């Protein structure tokens, strides 16, 4: 059953060096988990054990293993495909927040989201530039108590686009990223087809994203996209801007999807440099940056918390302010900070840019 997955992901090239396990953040805090072990069991034909256990759901799909694998095994593809097969057997992992986000995905696949109003940004629903704001309004409902404000991110993105002469259309809705990475292809296909139809109907030429997961999904999993796709950091890196330095110290957290999945490391740092921010790098950065601890709202537990604490420890040793360019990373960090007293502030990239230049 796993033969095609093994072939597609090049898992048969595994030489059991276990470099993947040595760098895996989950293995570091929970030694019983091992990417190499899952691959090895697949190679020797123990399909039932692989598909019926909870091990494959512990993977963060962060991609660190791929950075060090000498054989080029695509563990990300392997994990995604195995989860699809596991789901067919009724093994769906342990979703966080009692599955509320999965329910929201189904609601957005079957209906339309009433667009919330922005406080300051100006929009034009007939524009040829679209800002795909994703699930930000729903995140606000769930995570306002930890200090997350997704609609401020959306408003800041639109205000920045306005500043550079663009009055965009705005769309709120799910891209299907979490359904895809949780093996629910039926739900993912519904969301993909709906979003592709929306883009074609609008006739947009450019789509801007503030969520790396949405960006990654459109760019890598929607093959029929003809519009130009940009993360907001890439757009801002092309614009003229300047800001004054202050006496606070800043560091930048590379989101897994924006960094390892899409290879975008320089644009956010270029933007920060232009507004007067000198980035102090943490111990692990760029290709080796550590994940925020949770992906696709799956298996958020004590292991995730430990990974997050380790990352926050790095940030706190390095700077006063932690900047990221991913709403979910910000949510996860702020969740931990809501019950841990630390001398550290977490901000989204666009929030800081808007403060400096608008």
- Name the 3-class secondary structure at 150: helix
The pLDDT value given to residue 233: 99
The pLDDT value given to residue 344: 97
Q: How far apart are CA 349 and CA 236, in angstroms?
A: 10
Provide DSSP, 180-194. HHTT-HHHHHHHHHH
Tokens of 191: 């969301």
The pLDDT value given to residue 160: 98
Per-residue DSSP letter, 53: S
Would strands 345-348 and 321-324 be described as parallel, antiparallel, or unpaired? parallel
Instruction: In the chain, count H helices and then E strands.
Output: 18, 7
Domain extents for the chain?
3-88, 96-237, 250-357
pLDDT tens digits along 62-78? 999 999 999 999 999 99
In DSSP terms, which residues pair with 295 in a beta bridge? 298
Q: Are 199 and 225 in contact (CB under 8 A)?
A: yes
pLDDT tens digits along 181-231? 999 999 999 999 999 999 999 999 999 999 999 999 999 999 888 899 999
pLDDT-flagged residues of the chain (< 50): none
- Name the 3-class secondary structure at 55: helix
Sequence-separated (6 or more) residues with CB below 8 Å from residue 259? 265, 286, 287, 289
Tokens of 305: 């918390």
The pLDDT value given to residue 111: 82
Q: Are 110 and 119 in contact (CB under 8 A)?
A: no
The pLDDT value given to residue 93: 86
Class level of CATH domain 3-88: mainly alpha
CATH topology assigned to domain 96-237: Rossmann fold (3.40.50)
The whole-angstrom distance between residue 29's C-alpha and the CA centroid of its chain comes to 21
Q: How far apart are CA 131 and CA 206, in angstroms?
A: 9
Q: Which helix (H) or strand (E) holds 270?
A: helix 266-274
């Amino acid at each position: 059953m796993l033969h095609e997955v093994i072939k597609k992901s090049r898992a048969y090239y595994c030489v059991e060096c276990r470099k993947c396990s040595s760098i895996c953040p989950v293995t570091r805090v929970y030694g019983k988990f091992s990417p190499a072990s899952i691959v090895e069991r697949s190679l020797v034909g123990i399909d039932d054990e692989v598909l019926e256990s909870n091990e494959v759901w512990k993977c963060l799909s962060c991609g660190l293993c791929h950075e060090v694998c000498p054989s080029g095994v695509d563990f990300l593809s392997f994990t995604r495909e195995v989860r699809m097969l596991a789901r067919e057997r009724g093994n769906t992992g342990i979703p966080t927040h009692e599955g509320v986000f999965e329910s929201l995905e189904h609601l957005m696949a079957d209906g339309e989201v009433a667009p919330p109003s922005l406080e300051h940004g100006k929009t034009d629903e007939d524009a040829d530039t679209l800002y795909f704001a994703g699930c930000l309004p729903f995140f606000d409902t769930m995570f306002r108590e930890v200090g997350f404000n997704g609609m401020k991110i959306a408003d800041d993105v639109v205000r920045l686009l306005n500043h550079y002469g663009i009055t965009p259309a705005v769309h709120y809705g799910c891209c299907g990223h979490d359904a895809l990475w949780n093996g629910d292809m039926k739900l993912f296909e519904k969301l993909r087809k709906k979003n592709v139809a929306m883009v074609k109907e609008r006739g947009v030429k450019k789509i801007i994203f503030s969520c790396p997961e949405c960006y990654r999904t459109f760019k890598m999993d929607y093959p029929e996209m003809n519009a130009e796709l940009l993360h907001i950091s890439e757009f801002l890196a092309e614009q003229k801007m300047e800001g004054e330095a202050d006496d606070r110290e800043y560091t930048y957290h590379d989101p897994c999807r924006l960094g390892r999945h899409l290879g975008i490391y320089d644009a956010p740092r270029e933007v920060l440099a232009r507004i007067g921010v000198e980035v102090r790098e943490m111990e692990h950065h760029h290709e080796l940056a550590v994940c925020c601890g949770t992906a696709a709202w799956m298996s958020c537990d004590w292991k995730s918390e430990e990974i997050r604490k380790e990352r926050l420890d790095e940030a706190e040793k390095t700077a006063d302010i932690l900047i990221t360019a991913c709403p979910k990373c910000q949510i996860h960090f702020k969740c931990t900070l809501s019950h841990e007293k630390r001398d550290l502030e977490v901000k989204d990239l666009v929030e800081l840019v808007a403060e400096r230049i608008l």
